[in-house]
């Protein structure tokens, strides 16, 4: 029986241990360090894509939406309360700028995009480009 000793085996074990050390250690970031992720739903219909995003407390003027090719970018800012003298016991509400990029699978018609905000919910209706829409093929018989 022949044994092969790899010089990388111990290094690989150490790398694995370091990976678990850093991934298993939980450190709660301060509110300013939290990465803000905008929660979205993306639906694909025959004629259009519909995107719904939760943006509580924001108004239309707080949002910047861009559609370029097959990519939608939603930007905005959750503003912190003006009173900085308040001592928070718990601070979990989002503050600061955010940006969410959503890649869509096929062509869009950026000239026809509709965006509506109501009750903290942003709704985007993005029509598909004509070439991206499904075509019905009529079958002929002989």
Task: Indicate the SS3 state at residue 36.
Answer: coil
Span 53-75, average pLDDT? 93
Domains of the chain: residue spans and CATH:
31-81+89-132 (2.60.40.790)
Residue 34 has pLDDT above 50, yes or no: no
Residue 32 has pLDDT above 50, yes or no: no
How confident is residue 24, by pLDDT bands cut at 50, 70 and 90?
low
Whether the model pTM is above 0.75 = no
Residue 124 has pLDDT above 50, yes or no: yes
CA distance 37 to 101: 10
Parallel/antiparallel/unpaired status of strands 96-103 and 114-118: unpaired
Note whether 43 and 53 are within 8 A (CB). Answer: no
For 84, the token pair is: 């900085």
CA angle centred on 119, ends 113 and 64, rounded to 5°: 40
As a residue count, the chain comes to: 142
* pLDDT computed for residue 100 by the predictor: 93
What percentage of residues in the chain have a pLDDT greater than 90?
39
Q: Between 16 and 52, whose confidence is greater?
A: 52
* pLDDT computed for residue 55 by the predictor: 94
Residue 2 has pLDDT above 70, yes or no: no
Q: Between 30 and 46, whose confidence is greater?
A: 46
The secondary structure of residue 14, as a DSSP letter, is H
Residue 73 has pLDDT above 90, yes or no: yes
């Amino acid at each position: 029986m022949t044994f092969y000793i790899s010089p990388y085996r111990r290094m690989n074990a150490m790398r694995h241990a370091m990976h678990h050390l850093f991934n298993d250690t939980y450190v709660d970031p301060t509110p300013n360090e939290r990465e803000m992720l905008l929660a979205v739903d993306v639906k694909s219909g025959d004629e259009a894509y519909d995107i719904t995003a939760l943006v509580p407390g924001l108004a239309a003027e707080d949002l910047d939406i861009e559609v370029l090719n097959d990519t939608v970018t939603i930007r905005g800012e959750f503003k912190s309360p003006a009173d900085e003298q308040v001592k928070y016991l718990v601070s979990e509400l989002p503050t600061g700028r955010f940006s969410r990029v959503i890649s869509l699978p096929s062509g869009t018609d950026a000239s026809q995009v509709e965006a509506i905000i109501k009750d903290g919910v942003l709704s985007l209706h993005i029509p598909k480009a004509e070439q991206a829409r499904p075509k019905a093929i009529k079958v002929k018989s002989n």
